[in-house]
Amino acid sequence: MGDSDLIIRRAQREWETRDVKLIPCRQHVEDLSRWFKSVEFRYIPRCHNELADALATLASMLPYPSNARIDPLEIQIRERHGYCNTGKAEPNIQPWYDDIKRFLKTKEYPE
């Protein structure tokens, strides 16, 4: 069992947090969790963690006011790659990260 799995189990209160240095961390996680409609902690093995790392990096770049409510982000796992589900279309003039860039500026979700 790795450190990440241990932290997840402590955040879910499956295991007790005994280390005095980690108790404020767990309390901070609980305090932050109240700002979300729902929170779910899952252990993801390192080899399957690329998307989580990218989302964590993006989230760490965004300053949120303390009274902001954040909707959950739902990610679907598909049987096929996304490019297999697309039809032929005109080339997009905007770069792939345009929605992310606009969100960082306006704080509005893309349509």
pLDDT in tens, 13-49: 677 777 788 778 778 888 888 888 888 777 777 677 7
CA distances from 7 to 11, 13, 45, 86, 91 (A): 6, 10, 13, 39, 44
Backbone phi and psi for residue 15, each to the nearest 5 degrees, phi listed first = -125, 150
- Using CA atoms, how far apart are residues 6 and 103, in angstroms rounded to an integer? 33
CA-nearest of 56, 60, 54, 62 to 96 is: 54
Give domain limits for the chain: 5-61
39-62 pLDDT per residue, tens: 877 777 767 778 777 887 887 787
The reply to whether the predicted model has a pTM over 0.75 is no
